[in-house]
Amino acid sequence: MARYIRERRGKIPQRVFARKIGVAQSTIMRIENEDQNVTLSTLEALCQVFHADIAELFPPLETTRVYSSGVPLGLGVPERGSAATVHDEPAEHKTSTGKRGRKKTPSPARK
């Protein structure tokens, strides 16, 4: 959503845009920096200003490739040239508490 807002806002200063939708400039800054969740009233105001449906504000979920060395976290870095494992996992998302994380998915069986 942050990217969508920045792109649609264009060259309009955050201060001017914030006034137009009835929030503080710092609110727009935190939303664009993904430091704050958006309230329902702000979502409604964004939809009105952009003449958009609420679904347009949220990007589609995408899958990213996560590369790991198979070394447990905190136990060091694998040697250069060692094999890596590739896992397809959902992209990073923010939870309802605003914390970043990845959705929990079962790992493929290892041999």
Q: Look at 2-6, 28-32, 79-83 and tell me which has the smallest mean pLDDT.
A: 79-83
Q: What is the pTM of this model?
A: 0.50
The pLDDT, as a whole number, for residue 2 is 86
Q: Is residue 43 part of a domain?
A: yes
52, 70: one domain: no
Q: Is residue 44 part of a domain?
A: yes
Tokens representing residue 7 in the block: 């792109």
Query: What is the SS3 assignment for 65?
Result: strand
Q: How many CB atoms lie within 10 A of CB 92?
A: 11
> Any idea what the CATH number is for the domain that residue 52 is in?
1.10.260.40
Q: Is residue 22 part of a domain?
A: yes
Nearest by Cα to 65 from 29, 92, 99, 40: 92
Q: What is the distance between the alpha carbons of residues 82 and 68, in angstroms, rounded to a whole number?
A: 11
Percent of the chain with pLDDT over 90: 29
Give me the domain span that covers residue 23: 2-57
Locus of tokens 């800054």: 29
77, 35: one domain: no
The pLDDT, as a whole number, for residue 80 is 57
Number of structural domains the chain divides into = 2
Q: Is residue 99 part of a domain?
A: no
Q: What is the distance between the alpha carbons of residues 5 and 1, in angstroms, rounded to a whole number?
A: 6
38, 79: one domain: no
Long-range CB contact pairs, 7-15, < 8 A, 24+: 8/50, 8/52
Q: Which residues contact 4 (CB under 8 A, 6 or more apart)?
A: 56, 57, 59
52, 79: one domain: no
12, 42: one domain: yes
Asked if pLDDT for residue 95 goes beyond 80, the answer is: no
Q: What is the pLDDT of residues 52-91, one digit of tens each?
A: 888 888 777 665 555 555 555 555 555 555 555 554 555 5
Q: Is residue 88 part of a domain?
A: yes
